[in-house]
A and B are shown apart, each in its own frame.
Chain A
Amino acid sequence: MYVIKEAKAFVDAVANEPGGEKINECIQCGVCSGSCTTVEWWEYPPRKLIAMIRAGMKEQVLSSASAFNCVTCYLCTVRCPRDIKPSALMHAVMAIAEREGYKPKTPTLTLFRTLRESMKRGRIWDFGMAARFYFSSNIFNGFKVMPVALALISRGLMPIMPPKPIKSGEIKAILNKVRSIQGTGGKR
């Protein structure tokens, strides 16, 4: 009984997350995994991940880097016969993993955090965002992308100086409200 209750708590948590609502309607047909652009990089492909969530395998699901390979291409979503929106479901998994402090082995979690942070300026500052990301993940990867960065910088396509913040007060007010609605209070 205990195990079943635990399992239900996890699937309910996913169903309560925006994008996770329809998880119980999945028929496990595998169309999402078969369509997935990046499937060979996933330890547990989308269909399997859904099965694992419904089996209550919380630790394995949230510690896995699998969902972070989703490039949000929507192929699964336009093909899923049950209109589950697996892309949104993967976002829900990522959101829970991020919020609950799991540490899946992938720099993409850091990237998404950096991107979210960079929205606060009102407009994204590519160079600053990238620098920040490489500093907080792996600076050596930053050196490896230097040729690409230089190609862009020399063409004036990646300003090193930040643009003027636009309406960042408004943005912060909105994002703070979002955070309080989500009940994640002081955590980032």
Chain B
Amino acid sequence: MKYLYYPGCAMETTGVPIQMSIDAISNVLGIEFETMKDWTCCGCPGEAINELAAVSLAARNLALAEKSDLDLVAPCSCCYRNLLGAHVILSEDRKVRAQVKEALAAAGLEYKGTVKVRTLIDVLINDVGLELIRSKVKNQLSGLKVGAYYGCHQSRPYGPDHPEFPVWQDWIVESLGAESVFFPLKAQCCGGAQLFSQRAMVTELVARLLNNAEVHGAKCIASTLCPLCFTNLDVNQGRIKNRAGSNFAMPIVAISQLMGVAFGLPPRDLGLHKNVSPVDKVLAPYLQVRI
């Protein structure tokens, strides 16, 4: 199984623990990633106030990806959505297509429209398969109640999982021997980049969904691979009260980190020592060494 890989800017900063665990589990599962050469920002940060700029920058990356015939995997949900979104807009909208063609030509590039953009979760479910994942589990995560958190862009608006009540991460959680807990806000927004400008609003959004997961019995969150979602949940807890009225301490792990724990990989290889939320206690029964 070989794929072209688009890490995205945040995977090199806040997403480092996620990237470490992705490397570790893909090694176990036999997934080979060829990182795109000269990839640049997907354009998503410009989307709100300049859609044409966002689509054009995404198209630059698509044009480079097109030189390979491998599927393009983007683990960050925002990158995935913006790259796929650009592909969709370019195939549907003639006016935008002409404009983007002109913009790309300024850099000597052209996008013909043939790239298949996918999430890593999609690859894990549909190419790797739960059977293979199950076969690699060394530490059954029995007794662990996990809330799978998806965020928005991994399945909204383009799918391929259900746009409002996605299930694929729950399936992965269950295949590791853990119990996946349903909570209604599992695909609610983390607040994204507005964390910087409207911190109170974003903290409230995070508080709601963590409270919701806690009320439904989750003891930890297996987050989507999006570094924005992961970080917003992981670092914002100090200011939030839980049901009991004390400050929140919900352990947040990326789903790739949880898979690594079940596969028996050393926690340091999974970047678990870099998580801000307290993950050691809840994972200790399944680890041979301390984080």
Q: In the complex, A18→B153 CA distance in Å?
A: 20
Q: Is the CB of A112 within 8 A of B49?
A: yes
Q: Is A106 an interface residue (CB 8 A)?
A: yes
Q: In the complex, A158→B197 CA distance in Å?
A: 18
Q: Is B186 an interface residue (CB 8 A)?
A: no
Q: Is the CB of A118 within 8 A of B45?
A: yes
Give chain A nearest CB distance to B112 CB in angstroms. Answer: 17
A137 surroundings in chain B (CB, below 8 A): 197
Count A-B contacts at CB 8 Å.
182
Q: Is the CB of B45 within 8 A of A158?
A: no
Contact-size category for B: 35 or more
Q: Is A159 an interface residue (CB 8 A)?
A: yes
B156 surroundings in chain A (CB, below 8 A): 73-75, 77-78
Majority-rule SS of A interface residues: helix
Give chain A nearest CB distance to B93 CB in angstroms. Answer: 8
B27 surroundings in chain A (CB, below 8 A): none
Q: Is A163 an interface residue (CB 8 A)?
A: yes
Q: Is the CB of A148 within 8 A of B46?
A: no
Give chain B nearest CB distance to A185 CB in angstroms. Answer: 15
Q: Is the CB of A157 within 8 A of B41?
A: no
CB-nearest residue of chain A relative to B159? Answer: A78
Cβ contact of A178, chosen from B16, B49, B50, B164, cutoff 8 A: B50
Stretch at the interface among B187-195, B215-223, B253-261: B187-195
Q: Is the CB of A116 within 8 A of B164?
A: no
Interface residues of A in 79-126 (CB under 8 A from B): 87-88, 91-92, 94-95, 98-99, 106-113, 115-116, 118-119, 121-124, 126
A88 surroundings in chain B (CB, below 8 A): 51
Q: Is A156 an interface residue (CB 8 A)?
A: yes
Cβ contact of A157, chosen from B13, B46, B192, cutoff 8 A: B13
Q: Is the CB of B56 within 8 A of A174?
A: yes
A115 surroundings in chain B (CB, below 8 A): 45-46, 193
User: Given A71-B194, A157-B16 in contact, is the A166-B38 Cβ separation under 8 Å?
Assistant: yes
A3 surroundings in chain B (CB, below 8 A): none
- Chain A CB within 10 Å, residue with most, of B17, B164, B196: B196
B residues with a Cβ closer than 8 A to A are: 9-10, 12-14, 16-17, 38-41, 43, 45-53, 56-57, 60, 96, 99, 102-107, 109, 152-153, 156-157, 163-164, 188-189, 191-194, 196-199, 201, 205, 231, 235-236, 238, 274, 276
A-B contact pairs, 16 of them (CB 8 A): A71-B194, A94-B48, A107-B197, A112-B49, A118-B45, A148-B236, A151-B276, A152-B231, A157-B17, A170-B40, A174-B106, A175-B56, A177-B102, A177-B103, A178-B53, A181-B52
A residues with a Cβ closer than 8 A to B are: 18-19, 37-38, 41, 69-75, 77-78, 87-88, 91-92, 94-95, 98-99, 106-113, 115-116, 118-119, 121-124, 126, 130, 133-134, 137, 141, 144-145, 147-148, 151-152, 155-159, 163, 166-167, 170-171, 173-178, 181-182
Across the A-B interface, give the 7 residue pairs with the lowest CB-CB distance, nearest first.
A115-B45, A73-B189, A124-B9, A111-B197, A177-B106, A170-B107, A107-B197
